[in-house]
Amino acid sequence: MSNSKNDFALVCESIGMQFGGLAAVSNFNLQVHQGALYGLIGPNGAGKTTVFNIVSGVLRPTAGSVRLFGVDTTGLGPDEIARRGIARTFQNIRLFRNLTVLENVLVGHHVRRKATLGEALLSLPRYRKEESDMMCNATGLLQDVGLDHVANYRASALPYGQQRRLEIARALATKPKVLLLDEPAAGMNPAETERLMQLILDVRDRFNLTIFLIEHEMKVVMNICERMTVLDHGQIIAEGTPSEIQSNEKVIKAYLGGGAIARH
């Protein structure tokens, strides 16, 4: 394998996904550089979430392969992929509703634990050390996303915008190398969206992450993504920088233009 391929954090090679006879995604290719902030956009039903589910291991693609830092991860389960350094958030928030905010983040840390169950039951030194490290780390993460003041609330008690932030903090707790954000700004008001964009940029730099996000909110994608891929009916119709995408005829026709016309 050549060196250049290893520079990419995430590579999808001619991925295809068939549901019964229906092709949700076909011949999907993607190369995300390490440290990049990469966007995936497209109209509803274009297959964006399918791509996410394949990358995070929820779905096994019917064709093609996924590579994380040059290592093939195709067909691994979601927990194994999380262990290898991909964390994600969900389009329709999936928090552990009856756990506290702090506990939600601590669950994210669970995957990096070394202490065995026996050590935990007997509260041996290594376990105690790990637990207090986790606690420190989790508290720090909550401060980073601005949720430290509600650490002991039940997750379900948080308002919507904070729940989205908590999902990001929980994902970060798994110490990922690549973070997948599924429509992070969905349902947020402009002020919240603004803060979220800042958070995403901060997080990328502080944790040295590669971020791959799906977004509907054009402003978010155009403002913070360095490159993006446009998907329509399961096919890639364009790839490039925001300005390239904005002036791409196909995109305007399939997505921006069509939508704009329909709205007016």
Partner 1 sequence: MIGNRSNEFVRKAGPICVSLLVFYLFLFWAETGWDAYKVRILNLSAIYIGITLGLNLCNGFTGQFSLGIAGFMAVGAYTTALLTMSPATKSAVFFIDPLIWPLNSIQWGFLPALLMAALVSGFVGLLIGAPAIRFRDDYLGITTLGFAEIIRVIFTNTRTITNGALGLKGIPPHTNLYWSWSFALICVFVMIRLTNSSYGRALRAIRDDEIAAEAMGVNLFYHKCLSFVISAMMAGVGGGLLGSLITTIDPNMFRFPLTFTVLMMAVLGGLGSITGSVIAATLVTVAMEVLRVLEEPRVILGIFLPGIPGMRMVVFSVALMLVILFYPKGFMGDRELGLKSIRAFAARFRRTFLHKQV
Interacting residue ranges for partner 1, rule: CB under 8 A: 56, 58, 77-79, 82-83, 87-88, 90, 94-99, 103-104, 106-111, 113, 115, 117, 120-123, 127, 130-131, 134, 170-171, 173-174
Least CB distance from residue 50 to partner 1, whole Å?
Answer: 15
Sheet with strand 8-19: strands edge to edge: 22-33, 8-19, 63-68, 71-72
- CB–CB of 90/83 below 8 Å? no
Nearest approach, Cβ of residue 78 and partner 1 (Å): 4
Q: What's the start-to-end Cα distance of the chain, in Å?
A: 51
Checking 129-136 for CB contacts under 8 A at 24+ apart, the result is 134/106, 134/109, 135/106
Task: Give the nearer residue to partner 1 in terms of CB position, either 90 or 153.
Answer: 90
Distance of closest approach, residue 90 Cβ to partner 1, in angstroms:
7
Identify which of residues 107 and 256 has a Cβ nearer to partner 1 in the complex: 107
- For partner 1, which is the closer residue by CB, 115 or 197? 115
Question: Which is nearer to partner 1, 113 or 227 (by Cβ)?
Answer: 113
- Closest approach, Cβ 107 to partner 1, in A, equals 4
Which single residue is written with the structure tokens 């155009």? Answer: 222
Burial label, 140 (beta-carbon count in 10 A; 0-12, 13-18, 19+): middle
Q: Considering beta carbons, is residue 94 or 253 the nearer one to partner 1? A: 94
Question: Shortest distance, CB of residue 206 to partner 1, whole angstroms?
Answer: 20
Q: How many other CB atoms sit within 10 Å of the CB of residue 72?
A: 12
The Cα 29–Cα 65 span in angstroms is: 10
